[in-house]
């Protein structure tokens, strides 16, 4: 199971496989043609409340992960969709945040590919 993560603003690559946007909001200033998103799972993204609370503050990262994982317990069907897509071939989870280390795609990848 190959799961990569990438900013949606980066150019698509051949190795991306299925490109899945995991943000609740469409990325600003990005056309659908340029994004080349195959699937948009906006309901798997953190809730608006959690996203606003976190505000990409690295000091809240540990708590964000715990809260987001708790939210995902009610979205098992969407996690199953991701697992099924990953089982068929490589997938790339796309996110819009500038922070490449502290974002929801990192959490999702850890759930799909536990170490």
User: For the segment 95-114, what is each residue's pLDDT rounded down to a tens digit?
Assistant: 999 999 999 999 999 999 86
For the chain, the structural domain boundaries read 3-112
Asked if pLDDT for residue 115 goes beyond 80, the answer is no
For β-strands 18-21 and 39-40, DSSP reports them as parallel
Distance, in Å, from the CA atom of 28 to the CA atom of 15, rounded to the nearest integer, reads 25
Which SS3 state, helix, strand or coil, does residue 99 take? coil
* Model pTM score: 0.93
The predicted-structure confidence for 3-39, as pLDDT tens digits, reads as follows 999 999 999 999 999 999 999 999 999 999 999 999 9
pLDDT tens-digit profile of 44-71? 999 999 999 999 999 999 999 999 999 9
């Amino acid at each position: 199971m190959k799961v990569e993560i990438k900013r949606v603003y980066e150019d698509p690559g051949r190795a991306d496989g299925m490109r899945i946007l995991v943000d609740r909001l469409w990325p600003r200033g990005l056309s659908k043609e340029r994004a080349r998103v195959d699937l948009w799972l906006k309901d798997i993204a953190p809730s608006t409340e959690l996203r606003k609370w976190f505000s990409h503050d690295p000091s809240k990262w540990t708590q964000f992960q715990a809260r987001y994982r708790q939210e995902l317990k009610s979205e098992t069907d969407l996690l199953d969709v991701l697992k099924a897509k990953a089982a068929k071939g490589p997938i790339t989870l796309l996110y819009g945040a500038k922070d490449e280390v502290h974002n929801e795609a990192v959490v999702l990848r850890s759930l799909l590919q536990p170490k």
